[in-house]
Amino acid sequence: MRVEAVEVVVAQLSLRAPVHSAGVTHADKATLFFRVVTDEGSGWGECSAYADARSPDPTVEAIEPTTVDRAIARLFTGSVGGNLPSASSVAGVCVGGGSVGEQSVAGALEMAVLDAELRSASRSLASLLGVAHREVGVGDVVGIPPEHDLGALIDAVGAALDEGARRVRIKIEPGWDHEPLSAVRERYADAVLQADANGSFEPGAAAGLRGLDTYGLRCLEQPFVAEDLQSHRALAESMSTPIALDESLWSVARVRDAVQAGACRVACVKPGRLGGVFAAIAAAEACAEAGVECFVGGFFETGLGRCVNAALAGRAEFSLPGDLGDPDRYLAANPFAYLPEESGTVRLSDAPGLGAELRPGVMAAHRTYTRRVDFGS
């Protein structure tokens, strides 16, 4: 396959309703896409960068155009008029300094190359990744309700469970921890619940956090800032609820450090942050070797990124339900159709490519920026 061009596309998307987590409200979902054009067809990739991203994750503005141009040059300049690089080589070529911004761009370019490669070979992503399960469990996330309204929280958790969610991840923050979790547990005695603090607690809050053991949580995610593995390890050793890490896991090397340090018993693995699906597999394998459970975490992806996440979640290392609900439920407009979902599971696609189909009208209506980098003639 010969590379002809790469298109850089930004679509101005938004969430149907704002989602609040500790210290930030997500509403704008402007999304960066790449389309790799070859002589045998094209492939799409989606970048995990988003408008309200917090450290360690980048915003779209922070990476376009500088990081994007550098990655495209590294990846395709050597192949002017030449062959498409293999998808498994993309992250190694694109990630120079190892920043999360570079990794997020590499992950998106890898996705586009992978889509083109798989379509040309008439192969599905699930087949390439060697998935253990064709049907994967769907978990849901419930944000902090406006004005900390307990009734609204109970209703949102109930709606997620009614839709079949295999677990519900509840966002917490200092001052919004015991009361919401106690109320939800009282109402839904058997629900599988996780709490996600997005790094909002100080290490001095550990004694109060230990009290969350009462609520039978599947895990407590990222109580402290991303850099602080030591406080996570100390808390993990002093509570029965497993500690999960998310923001702390900003690279494959960092995942290895965290699991070897005993800082978590659960890992939220995000291919968009780590540099793509192959990096995510390496991270998950490191977790499996250390006896750490994994789930696939989301960034409110469109159907494109979420299809990749779902296929990844079909691998044996992912024993916990991921953030794999249909983007049509949270995006006001979704430019890529997602997988069929039934009774809390999605069925992976056997179609050639990533499993997501472009909705051209939706993309055209929301596309606010396009530039094309041509190679060869």
- Could you give the residue numbers annotated as active site? 171, 270
Interface mask (CB under 5 A) for Mg ion, residues 237-256, using x and -?
Answer: ---------x----------
Q: How far apart are CA 220 and CA 222, in angstroms?
A: 7
* Angle, vertex CA 24, rays to CA 370 and CA 234, nearest 5: 120
Contact region with Mg ion (CB under 5 A), list: 146-154, 171-179, 192-200, 226-234: 192-200
Q: Is 5 helix (H, G, I), strand (E, B) or coil?
A: strand
Minimum separation from the CB atom of position 78 to Mg ion (A): 37
- Decide if residue 196 touches Mg ion (CB under 5 A): yes
Q: Quick one: 115 or 196, whose CB is closer to Mg ion?
A: 196
Q: How far apart are CA 377 and CA 344, in angstroms?
A: 48
Contact region with Mg ion (CB under 5 A), list: 95-103, 194-202, 227-235, 360-368: 194-202
- Decide if residue 173 touches Mg ion (CB under 5 A): no
Contact region with Mg ion (CB under 5 A), list: 82-90, 91-99, 189-197, 335-343: 189-197
Q: How far apart are CA 51 and CA 225, in angstroms?
A: 20
Q: Quick one: 87 or 170, whose CB is closer to Mg ion?
A: 170
Minimum separation from the CB atom of position 1 to Mg ion (A): 37
Minimum separation from the CB atom of position 199 to Mg ion (A): 9
Q: Quick one: 196 or 341, whose CB is closer to Mg ion?
A: 196
Of 235, 230, 280, whose CA–CA distance to 257 is shortest? 230
Amino acid identity, position 220 = L
Q: How far apart are CA 185 and CA 179, in angstroms?
A: 10
Q: Do the beta carbons of residue 101 and residue 133 sit within 8 Å? A: no
Contact region with Mg ion (CB under 5 A), list: 69-77, 195-203, 254-262, 319-327: 195-203
DSSP annotation of 2: B
Q: Could you say which residues in the range 261-290 bind Mg ion, by CB under 5 A?
A: none
Minimum separation from the CB atom of position 222 to Mg ion (A): 5
Minimum separation from the CB atom of position 246 to Mg ion (A): 4
Q: Do the beta carbons of residue 322 and residue 297 sit within 8 Å? A: yes
Q: Quick one: 4 or 246, whose CB is closer to Mg ion?
A: 246
Helix, strand, coil percentages (3-state) for the chain, rounded to 5, are 40, 25, 35
| Per rule CB under 5 A, count of chain residues that contact Mg ion | 2
Q: Please name the residues in contact with 108: beta carbons below 8 A apart, sequence gap of 6 or more.
A: 32, 33, 34, 45, 46, 47, 48, 272
Q: Quick one: 46 or 196, whose CB is closer to Mg ion?
A: 196
Q: Do the beta carbons of residue 156 and residue 188 sit within 8 Å? A: no
Minimum separation from the CB atom of position 376 to Mg ion (A): 43
Q: Quick one: 196 or 317, whose CB is closer to Mg ion?
A: 196
- Decide if residue 57 touches Mg ion (CB under 5 A): no
Pairing status of strand 336-337 against strand 357-358: antiparallel
* Beta pairing partners, 63: none
| Interacting residue ranges for Mg ion, rule: CB under 5 A | 196, 246
